[in-house]
Structure 1
Amino acid sequence: MTVVNEGGAQAPHERSRRVRGELPASGVRHALAERARRRARSSLPLPIRKALRRVYRALRHPKPPPPRTLILPSDVADADALRAYLTDTDIFSTVEEADAYLADALERFRVTVAMLPELPAGVQVLELGANPYFITRLLRRRGIDAVCANWFGPGRPARGQQIVTSRSTGERHVFDFDHFNVESDRFPYPDGSFQLVLCCEILEHLPQDPIHMLAEIHRVLADGGLLLLTTPNATRIDNLARMLRGDNVYEELSGYGTYGRHNREYTVAELRLLLSECGYTVSDVFALDIHDHAADWKSTMPGPNPGDRGCNLFALAEARGMPRWRYPRWLYSSQHALRRPVMPDLVVGCNDDVQAMGGLYELEVIQGVHARWMGCEPRATLLLSPTFEGAGTIRVEGVAPPVEAGDLTLCAELNGRQVSWHIAADGRPFSRGADVDISVGDQQVVLHTDRQWRPVECGLNPDTRTLSVAISSVALLPR
């Protein structure tokens, strides 16, 4: 084969170029480096060489974790009795239809109930996606009457009721429920209303904004309240087997529309990361094979943790502090299209992903404060949504630049009026306020400074960014 340079001239032979040093001989260098490593290993004492081989094998072929043991409570320990109890209902048109549903879901119900914490009398529980009320009925057998929520599509009233009748005894079970879309609506409950929220087999159906649901769950949970979440595992054995066969791993389209199919499934690592970024303290996330099929594939499938290939994911997480609307780049593209007010004020680390319109760098912890530096653009534009109008105060909190950067002036523009403050360069957190007139509804606050600085030019570090002040929160408060 003739090698031609750009412009059509024939290139010199590759070997001659290597001899002259014009073309890196990466393959030759790799072989020489490997030979040197072998000589170095052979010079080591035999016990050390054996230990290194054991480490190498462990890294190449890690041992699977011990199988997870779950102790099933007595009320779900007998699978046959549980199946008979749950199928004895007219929520499905036929017993065969109920049997088909439980053939896939019964073991998941048993594991979910086994994960429930000890619940005191009078505990407030919210069950999202409660229909067909199987877990709801299991909770009622324990004396817990959960608040139910469903979504059957737009155009329905905010409250609904379904009555389920036992086929064998005629006993009626009445289920009142709130009707709202967990992906877009504000949940119709005050902050901190519940000690436990069940979110079973919902996450995978959300096509656009699971962050909204997780943030709203966090908001309605009491501090220290628990979220119990289940969802299919994207890297389950079934999916890997389909790929090896050349089959498609995606679900069929649904006649019920977008929400009728799985739109985005998650791995163990993704689910743990997603919950953490939304402000939860994750107690446990694991994959479990709740079906017998394909269990023997695990020993032959490559990967760091064969135990993460179970068909379902189960998670238990604790809500602490404020909810977070974090839209991670590993999950989202075009995050700018999701910008909107979700809180009246802006709190960096909580809702800045959706209420900061531009002009701020990425989130950092500066002097122990979650903040974002200004300076990547001349102005930072923030979206706020006050719930009152009239005389008020704008309050800006953040971190001042270091002494080496020098003092500066911070300005804020709102409703055609500009206020400004002197910020002393001491590298410490600051809080500034000024009187302004405030209107109800979405409003833009524009921040800018009279000067900027660069850490590298101040001799602080190699950071070449253009900075001014770091912002941690902006609030509009009644005077």
Structure 2
Amino acid sequence: MTKETFRSILESFPAQGPKEKAYIRLAIDRMWLTLQHLPRGTGTEHLMDVGSGSGLMGPAYIKMWGYGQVSLLGYDVEAEGELVFSDQDGQSYRFPTHQANIELDRFPVPDESVDTVVCTDVFEHLIFDPMFAMNEICRILKPGGVALLSVPNAVSDEVLTFLLNNRQPGFLRNYLSDALMDGSRDLGTVYNLGHFHEYTAPELAGLAKACGFEVQSLSAFNYREPEFNDLRFRLMKRMVGWLWPRSVRLRGEELVGVFRRTSYTPLDQLPDRYPRPLYSRMSRE
């Protein structure tokens, strides 16, 4: 199937408001390229979308990637309910929903009950403890289950051009006024203000390994035209590659990792509870 089929499935989602329509318009290329890394199902597997928002992606997981069951978990879904609807083709869907703040609340999901977890562009919004969320993902996955995570790449070539233009070195490091206009000043507002921590490849891999995953793949891609792309910046990017030919830095805008669960250890028993370089300490002890 093609990206246009993918777009059509997303646009047929019945609960679309202005927010969902804007998201499809802005993020369709990123979502499509990210999901090229998603293992295909055989019609029986259970996929959980963590940080799923409205559940927009659910029908695509079934129609295009062959999953048999999809459930949704996040801060803004119904607590222990169901999302039931039919698309424009008349196909009916029933997605169980589970409400949780993924870095503070134990997921209301049984141990080893999910085959695949998808968590796209969520971890960069976490402000407290990403290890908590990753450890919960590990807990609910079956042995050998797979987690697909994507995050903005904090050290992409595009970030280098931002620095040279006196810009913040990241993709959403400014305050989003949309999140402030209704007057709310709560935790939900904070999560929607922008990106708290954008990741490097070693940080994302270290997070997964510390929780009992092995890295199946870790790559980066670009999904839009560079903001700064005149001859000077194209030459700069080539020179960086020439001057540091052995650099292991992934240079695309978006990092995507596929991680396989090999073991699970409760959070407070992990030997590397606060893995570096993602975590650091003020003291030298």
Q: Aligning the two structures, in what range does the TM-score lie when normalised by the shorter sequence?
A: 0.7 to 0.9
SS state of the match for residue 115, structure 1?
coil
What is the deviation of 1:191?
Answer: 1.8
**Aligned 1:232-381 pairs, distance under 5 A:** 232-249=152-169, 251-254=173-176, 255=179, 256-260=188-192, 261-293=194-226, 296=234, 298-301=237-240, 303=244, 304-305=246-247, 308-323=250-265, 325=270, 326-334=273-281
Report deviation, 1:164.
Answer: 5.9
Instruction: Work out the CA distance in 2 between the residues paired with 1:262 and 1:108.
Output: 16
Unaligned runs of 5+ in 1: 1-73, 337-361, 363-479
Whether the 8 Å contact between 1:164 and 1:172 is mirrored in structure 2 is yes
Counterpart CA distance in 2 for 1:204 and 1:320 is 24
SS at 1:134 equivalent: coil
C-alpha distance in structure 2 between counterparts of 1:128 and 1:147, whole Å:
9
Of 188-197 and 109-118, more deviation after overlay is shown by 109-118
SS at match of 2:119: strand
User: Matched residues in 2 for 1:143 and 1:211: separation?
Assistant: 27
Residue matched to 1:348: none
Q: Of residues 165, 171, 190 in structure 1, which corresponds to 2:110?
A: 190
Matched, 1:144 2:86: no
Pick the structure with more strand per residue.
1
Structure 1 counterpart of 2:11, from 65, 87, 97: 87
Range 198-207 or range 302-311, more displaced: 302-311
Q: Distance in 1 between matches of 2:116 and 2:50?
A: 11
The TM-score, its normalising length taken from structure 1, stands at 0.48
Deviations 1:35-61 (A, max 9, x none): xxxxxxxxxxxxxxxxxxxxxxxxxxx
Q: Which has the larger radius of gyration?
A: 1
> Alignment partner of 1:231: what SS?
strand
Q: Measure the CA separation in 2 of the matches of 1:87 and 1:131.
A: 15
What letter matches 1:248 in structure 2? Q
Q: 2:32 is paired with a residue of what secondary structure?
A: helix
**Partner secondary structure for residue 146 of structure 1:** strand
Equivalenced residue count is 255
Tell me the distance in 2 between the aligned counterparts of 1:273 and 1:289. 23
Distance in 1 separating the partners of 2:40 and 2:92: 28
Q: Which residue of 2 aligns with 1:68?
A: none
Partner-residue secondary structure (3-state), 1:292: coil
Q: How far off is 1:98 after superposition?
A: 4.7
Aligned with 2:250: secondary structure?
A: helix
Deviation at 1:334, TM superposition (A): 4.7
| CA shift in 2, pair 1:178/1:230, >3 Å | same
Does the 8 Å contact 1:287/1:307 carry over to 2? no
Deviation (angstroms), 1:181? 1.2
Matched, 1:205 2:125: yes
| Counterpart in the other structure of 2:182 | none
Distance 1:298 1:160 in 2: 49
2:174 counterpart letter in structure 1: E
Instruction: Give the structure-2-normalised TM-score.
Output: 0.77
Q: Secondary structure at the match of 1:195?
A: strand
**Does the C-alpha gap of structure 1 residues 311 and 176 become closer, same or farther in structure 2, counting only changes over 3 Å?**
same
1:90-129 matched pairs, under 5 angstroms: 90-94=14-18, 98=20, 100-129=22-51
Unaligned runs of 5+ in 2: 180-187
CA distance in 1, matches of 2:167, 2:85: 39
Give the superposition deviation at 1:300: 3.9
Shift in Å, 1:101: 2.0
Does the CA contact (< 8 Å) of 1:183 and 1:212 recur in 2? yes
Residue 308 of structure 1 aligns to a residue whose secondary structure is: coil
SS of residue matched to 2:148: strand
Flag the structure with more relative contact order, 1 or 2, with Cα contacts below 8 A and sequence separation at least 6: 2
On the 8 A contact 2:45/2:67 being kept in 1, the answer is no
- The more displaced of 284-293 and 105-114 is 105-114
**Matching of residue 215 in structure 1 with residue 148 in structure 2:** no
